[in-house]
Amino acid sequence: MNRLPHHSLLVLISATVTLVGCQEAPPYDPAEALPGGDASVNFSPFPSSELPVANLPASAKPEFYAGKALAHQPWIKAPTITDARDGLGPLYNARTCLACHTKGGRGHVPDSGDTPLLSAFLRLSIPGNHPHHGALPEPTYGEQLQSQSVALAHQLRHSGAELPMSVAPEGYVHVHWQNDIFTYPDGQQRQLRRPRIEIRNLGYGPLHPDTLMSLRIAPSIHGAGLIELIDQADIDALADPEDLDGDGISGRVNQVWDYRRQAVAPGRFGLKANRASLEITVAGAFAGDVGITNPLFPQQPCSPAQPSCQEQPDGNDANGVELSEELLQMVVDFNRNLGVPKRRSPENTQVMAGRELFYQTGCQRCHQPDFTTLASEQQPHLGGQRIWPYSDFLLHDMGPELADGRPDYQASGREWRTAPLWGIGLSKHISGSQNFLHDGRARSVEEAILWHGGEAAASRQAFTELSTPQRQQLLMFVNSL
Ligand code: HEC
Ligand code: HEC
């Protein structure tokens, strides 16, 4: 067929069917066992570090491992003699990518408000729009609160007197949890927790009074190269901004700034689909999270209100940035080729029953099971694969409980990108974290579902009305992904 994927037809049919009754799952396809197609990786025995996609050609391995080394390597403060590794900060959140995306998996939010946040951060803005950043950066602190700095740097100033030039960290984020009790229709109860944010030691004075904050946990980055090769037309075909099919689920494409092409483009990566491409996501992470400037983001993470940050030495190369285009592409390549786990026991009878319930409760209306990736000249092994990410990569209004109130390009303060579910059952093994949803509030798949509201409220309702064994089956299915 042409650009209209077979599954968009399925979605249309499903919408009509649900109006009259519940919807059945399509017959099980053995291809579902391999969420990344031929690129899927066996995670048993459990790997000790990040594995490349199973079908990575031998000729592409050196680039992958070079990128992996760069993603692991702690960046250090400039200046140094080995200038390929310096330029950290001056303000930053972590020294390496994998400090947050542990083994390519997700970050975590501490259970106690005493411990500051490390593998998650706060995005900041004030009301208004910026043509490139989307939201207007907070005037002093910028687009995200960096909780680390290169600390005290002694500099010679004024007639040779040595004065400490302190680059204060911007502040420490502590998350306090408020507990709620959720009661199922059958009387069973679960404890849920919602975050309350406290910022300690603001380094540069008060935040703007209208500051909007969004707590975001590092998501898993497996399969990014496959997501990159999904045809935008396939995603567009799932969007239904005006909810014309009347199923209560809209789904919108975010429109963001493409820093490479210098144009507006559909967003796909990031928790609000706030990044247009994988390379922009990686380059933005270098600049914002590690403080490493690069060809796409050449600015140090210092605002005009942070002179001590601006006066720090940089780690620039001859092109005036800390990370060259070549090294940037190596790390992009590493992200692109991170293997997606194979499913475990997909044909177990309980899991199969759960699969049926996944469709019956309407999860797949947002968690779109499959796509076929576009052919790619640069990445032939990732092209033409039937993949099972369980996301439509669209924005959905998830209701007031999950709202962060902070718009991001065209995403409203209530909208989030459908989280891909592939690999979710291995989260604990991969990164040690089971903190789900954008801010890590959910400690299990069950809790994540119970927070679904807005467009997903009917689906959540259907889940809560299942019998206990059925709920267990559905959770087993999700955890088998
Ligand atoms: C301080 C923690 C932290 C560090 C360090 C970090 N990230 Fe992230 N990463 C995040 C968060 C939080 C998000 C979600 C951002 C958003 O939605 O705005 C994210 C998103 C991403 C995504 C998008 C995933 C998706 O599902 O769309 C990729 C890819 C990524 N990071 C790669 C990297 C790379 C490469 C580095 C190193 C250069 C890095 N990250 C460093 C926290 C971090
Ligand atoms: C209306 C669209 C929609 C429907 C329907 C929906 N979800 Fe989601 N789901 C989302 C979005 C959007 C997110 C991300 C929300 C966030 O990060 O706050 C999400 C997140 C999740 C997560 C957390 C994933 C992670 O990595 O943090 C799980 C688990 C999940 N959904 C499972 C389900 C199940 C199971 C169902 C059916 C009972 C379902 N969802 C129905 C849109 C939907």
Domain segments of the chain as ranges: 30-95+220-480
Does the Cβ of 448 fall within 6 Å of ligand 2?
Answer: yes
**pLDDT confidence of residue 166:** 79
CA 320 distance to own-chain centroid: 29
Tell me, what amino acid is at 307? P
Q: Ligand 2: distance of its center to the CA of 280 in Å? A: 25
For ligand 2, atom 11, name the residue with the nearest CA: 418
Question: What is the C-alpha separation between 90 and 112, in angstroms, rounded?
Answer: 28
Kindly give the number of the ligand 2 atom that is closest to the alpha carbon of 454. 1
Query: What separation in Å is there between the alpha carbon of 146 and the centre of ligand 2?
Result: 28
Q: How far apart are CA 127 and CA 469, in angstroms?
A: 46
The answer to whether 480 and 421 are in contact (CB under 8 A) is no
Name the residue with the closest Cα to ligand 1, atom 35.
Answer: 282
Torsion of CA 441, 443, 446, 451, to 10 degrees: -10
Residue 9: pLDDT above 70? Answer: no
Q: Is the pLDDT of residue 154 over 50?
A: no
Is residue 418 within 8 Å of residue 92, measured between CB atoms? no
Ligand 2 and 71: CB distance under 6 A: no
Q: Which ligand sits closest to the CA of 420?
A: 2
What does the pLDDT read at residue 16?
Answer: 35
Which residue pairs from 48-53 have beta carbons closer than 8 angstroms and sit at least 24 positions apart in sequence?
49/103, 50/98, 50/103, 50/104, 50/334, 50/338, 50/339, 51/338, 51/339, 52/337, 52/338, 52/339, 53/225, 53/337, 53/338, 53/339, 53/340, 53/381, 53/382
Residue pair 199/145 in contact by the 8 Å Cβ criterion: yes
pLDDT of res. 19: 34
- Rg of the chain's alpha carbons, rounded to an integer? 23
Higher pLDDT, 72 or 85: 72
Averaged pLDDT of the chain: 91
Q: How far apart are CA 30 and CA 16, in angstroms?
A: 27
- Which residue from 445, 441, 436 is spatially nearest to 471, judged by alpha carbons? 445
pLDDT recorded at residue 155? 47
Q: Please name which ligand lies nearest the alpha carbon of 195.
A: 2
Q: How confident is the model at residue 80 (pLDDT cuts 50, 70, 90)?
A: confident
The band of 85, judged by pLDDT with boundaries at 50, 70 and 90, is confident
Specify the pLDDT at position 47. 85
Give the per-residue pLDDT at 197.
97
Substitution candidate for ligand 1 out of 75, 91, 100 with most atoms within 8 A of CB = 100
Please tell me the predicted confidence (pLDDT) of residue 151.
75
pLDDT recorded at residue 82: 66
Q: Is 445 in the pocket of ligand 2 (CB under 6 A)?
A: yes
Q: Apex CA 271: angle with CA 69 and CA 266, to 5°?
A: 100
**Nearest ligand for residue 97 CA:** 1
Q: Which ligand is nearest to the CA of 453?
A: 2
**Is a pLDDT exceeding 50 seen at residue 173?**
yes
Is-cis flag, bond preceding 241, omega within 30? no
Tell me, what's the pLDDT at 78? 85
pLDDT at 455: 97
Say if residues 203 and 168 touch (Cβ distance below 8 Å). yes
How much of the chain exceeds pLDDT 70, in percent?
92
10-20 pLDDT tens trace = 333 333 334 33
pLDDT of 263 strictly over 70:
yes
pLDDT digits (tens, 9 = 90+) for 102-124: 999 999 999 999 999 999 999 99
Q: Ligand 1: does its nearest atom lie under 6 Å from the Cβ of 271?
A: yes
Mean pLDDT of 441-462: 98
Going from the Cα of 367 to the center of ligand 2, the distance in angstroms, rounded, reads 7
Range 201-226 average pLDDT: 97
| Beta carbon of 36 within 6 Å of any ligand 1 atom | no
CA 127 to chain centre: 23
Assess contact for 327 and 295: CB atoms under 8 A.
no
Q: What mean pLDDT comes out for the span 135-164?
A: 74
Residue type, 337: N
Q: How far is CA 171 from the centre of its chain?
A: 23
Which residue owns the Cα nearest ligand 2 atom 40? 363
CB of residue 267 inside a 6 A radius of ligand 1: no
Return the minimum-mean-pLDDT range out of 224-228, 302-306, 471-475.
Answer: 302-306
pTM as predicted:
0.94
CA distance 253 to 349: 36
Give dist(CA 322, CA 86) in Å, integer. 7
Nearest CA to ligand 2 atom 6: 363
Q: Residue holding tokens 């960290």? A: 169
The tokens 């995403």 sit on which residue? 411
Q: Is the CB of 455 under 6 A from ligand 2?
A: yes
Q: What value does the mean pLDDT take over residues 16-43?
A: 81
> Tell me, what's the pLDDT at 3?
41
Q: Identify the residue whose C-alpha is closest to ligand 1 atom 39.
A: 97
Residue predicted with more confidence, 339 or 151: 339
pLDDT of 391-433, one tens digit each?
A: 999 999 999 999 999 999 999 999 999 999 999 999 999 999 8
Residues 6 or more apart in contact with residue 145 via CB below 8 angstroms:
121, 122, 124, 170, 171, 173, 199
Residue 274 Cβ inside 6 Å of ligand 1? The answer reads yes
Tokens in use for 462? 């259907």
Q: What is the mean pLDDT of residues 137-163?
A: 74
With vertex at residue 109, the alpha carbon angle to CA 249 and CA 481, rounded to the nearest 5 degrees, is 50
Q: For 333-381, what is each residue's pLDDT tens digit? A: 999 999 999 999 999 999 999 999 999 999 999 999 999 999 999 999 9
Q: Is residue 164 exposed (0-12), middle (13-18) or buried (19+ Cβ within 10 Å)?
A: exposed
Average pLDDT score over residue span 193-220: 97
Does ligand 2 have an atom closer than 6 angstroms to the CB of 475? Answer: no
User: Please, which residues have CB within 8 angstroms of residue 44's CB and are 6 or more apart in sequence?
Assistant: 344
Higher-confidence position of 440 and 155: 440
Residue nearest to atom 4 of ligand 2 (CA): 456
